[in-house]
Structure 1
């Protein structure tokens, strides 16, 4: 599919991942010969793998991710295999009977992007590409730079001039990416990438790439596998570019269609109030998204005013799964982050939107107190250390037996 550009006015080239109608392309497979029970046994056996692609939590499910890709092109760092942690205290605070946190922050580059990026880079390499690109506020670029380096390729990252995490930029640079800074927003970079990357010989790894979506489906496959193929009542996740929402929606519907699960959960997409065009569209009963020209939120990964995957998320999550949306304030996000950090798991601000959103939905009576939920944590605590506020309990000058003993006694 990639490598067949369409002409555009002004000598530019339309991205091969865009339909002539302007929408995003999707990977559609004719499923045949799928035996869900037999595949469950195969996937159980692969849990013992150590040094093969099947040792990871993405390529373990290759039959539903990219069945026809030759093994020699798989570019992996054994991504996935992330923890699913129950928390009784956070369940009580959120107002649900049982809560589990899916820590995608435990991925090799520290975010959920790895689940999709391993597939995108593998696909690009199979087509002969050596130069990979993305526009990013941080997590995507770090993941791309890591996989490109593993595959012996180069990465070229377009960075918006503001509202990005310095730590993520440093991580991207450390993996050897060429950083191309521009004065504009994430959405400006995406538009440039859509028009010119093919002519520049760059393989695009943003969420407009449908193979990214295929890889990110593995998140919900792994949740289902970890829970014995019995999913919770709700899956709650942050919504920025909405690729993860689109992927989880697609993955859940396929699991049900192919007989891996009997019951579908509902899905809640949570955006930051300062960058919530999708929520405003759904809440207003509209079917067309109005972009936000100047999105702003402390959760930089959610700072997207024109999410590329909104049509896919609307179709699969809202339409297919009876999903809902919510918008939470920066204050709610940071409060939820502090609670997740102190639970011993930790996350970046964008991840905490899932817990903040779940609490809001429970307070509104949309999520019932007797229901169960999984919150997706998308990025690592150290992705954005500027958002971490430490309260020093004891200064070095006060380091005496009496002062330490008094502090411990109060705890």
Structure 2
């Protein structure tokens, strides 16, 4: 098995620093001493007590926010991409490809650049938040915008990877889920056990699958005494896992989960069954209300799709057991989608104020 001593890896130049997921969890990942580790020291993201939300729910319910928006490219995708790119490099691949609603493209581009690989990204034209598109471009990816949706883009890149010498790094790549499962390890280590519920947004359903993999692995290893109920939430305009029907034209303000035919559909249903969990949909109005609540009451700025986990929790709050410990996964950083933040903000931007203390004081109400 791979030696996880930091002095073996040039990327780990801080002896007592966080080494990244592969070094930290090598014993639980499909890596060897032949695996070239491509890392931006992802993981180890904060688990933030949601004080206002817990008080709102009452009944001694404790809610914690797993804020994966503080990964290097601003989303949970970095967890999977460090594994996917490392294994692609190990196999001799020189290029990677993905379809994306935004976050995957940013992570793929960054980690490919870090590993010396070429990245190609297919996106649905006009359906990706500006912050995410800017990331893919600045990292040097070749971005191809198609006149179609994410599901069509995924179909194309899957076929491309079968016909050409290029590695697919969407969540159908098993190494992606291997990396993403480490978030569950971090939760168990931070809490001391698995939570009672894990609330998570669902798009392509890779993340809920990966979390369950991680919880199950730690439970089997004796590192936790229980397994959580997995509670998945989708936007009402893009809810195939809730309705059981493909959405040919998914629509939601939560662009990261605007997916009408999830690649991990069967796996997600298995997670729901095995965990005794449930899937629900939330409207864009409910998502934006949770989005603003998190920023305005908790001081946590996530992207709209992330807020689906909190919107869902609030929607089914009457089902929460008293005294439960619940983790809501916040998958991406709010800076990813500045347009939505500006449109939703209730604070006023005061323009044209004269540059003197009297004018400024007047605006401030003094």
Matched, 1:299 2:259: no
SS at match of 2:63: strand
Matched, 1:118 2:82: yes
In 2, the alpha carbon distance for the partners of 1:101 and 1:157 equals: 30
In 2, the alpha carbon distance for the partners of 1:216 and 1:198 equals: 24
Matched, 1:322 2:285: no
Aligned to 1:356: 311
SS at match of 1:388: helix
Residue 158 of structure 1: which of 106, 114, 122 is its match? 122
In 2, the alpha carbon distance for the partners of 1:208 and 1:226 equals: 29
Residue 102 of structure 1: which of 66, 71, 79 is its match? 66
Cα distance change on mapping 1:49 and 1:57 into 2, 3 Å: farther
Tell me by how many angstroms 1:383 deviates: 0.3
Matched, 1:377 2:340: no
SS at match of 2:163: coil
Residue 267 of structure 2: which of 312, 316, 329 is its match? 312
Aligned to 1:191: 155
Tell me by how many angstroms 1:58 deviates: 4.7
Aligned alpha-carbon RMSD (Å): 2.3
Matches within 5 A, 1:232-311: 232-281=195-244, 290-311=245-266
Aligned to 1:386: 339
Q: Which has the larger displacement, 128-137 or 160-169?
A: 160-169
Unaligned runs of 5+ in 2: 6-11
Tell me by how many angstroms 1:134 deviates: 0.2
Tell me by how many angstroms 1:90 deviates: 1.7
Aligned to 1:91: 54
SS at match of 1:184: coil
Q: Is the 8 A contact 1:133 1:205 kept in 2?
A: yes
Matched, 1:215 2:215: no
In 1, the alpha carbon distance for the partners of 2:152 and 2:83 equals: 25
> TM-score by structure 2 length?
0.90
Matched, 1:332 2:286: yes
Cα distance change on mapping 1:375 and 1:399 into 2, 3 Å: farther
> TM-score by structure 1 length?
0.81
Aligned to 1:76: 39
Tell me by how many angstroms 1:264 deviates: 1.1
Deviations 1:202-258, CA, capped at 9 Å, x for gaps: 100001101100000001111111223x22211111000000011011111111112
Unaligned runs of 5+ in 1: 1-32, 34-41, 43-47, 282-289
In 2, the alpha carbon distance for the partners of 1:409 and 1:59 equals: 54
Q: Is the 8 A contact 2:198 2:231 kept in 1?
A: yes
Q: Is the 8 A contact 2:18 2:44 kept in 1?
A: no
SS at match of 2:199: strand
Matched, 1:346 2:301: yes
Tell me by how many angstroms 1:360 deviates: 0.8
**Number of residues of Structure 1 aligned to a counterpart in Structure 2:** 352
Q: Is the 8 A contact 1:141 1:172 kept in 2?
A: yes
In 1, the alpha carbon distance for the partners of 2:227 and 2:81 equals: 26
Tell me by how many angstroms 1:163 deviates: 2.0
In 1, the alpha carbon distance for the partners of 2:353 and 2:310 equals: 38
SS at match of 1:326: strand
Cα distance change on mapping 1:205 and 1:52 into 2, 3 Å: farther
Q: Which has the larger displacement, 88-97 or 153-162?
A: 88-97
Deviations 1:133-189, CA, capped at 9 Å, x for gaps: 000010000000000000111100111123211221111010000011211111111
In 2, the alpha carbon distance for the partners of 1:75 and 1:119 equals: 8
In 2, the alpha carbon distance for the partners of 1:346 and 1:313 equals: 27
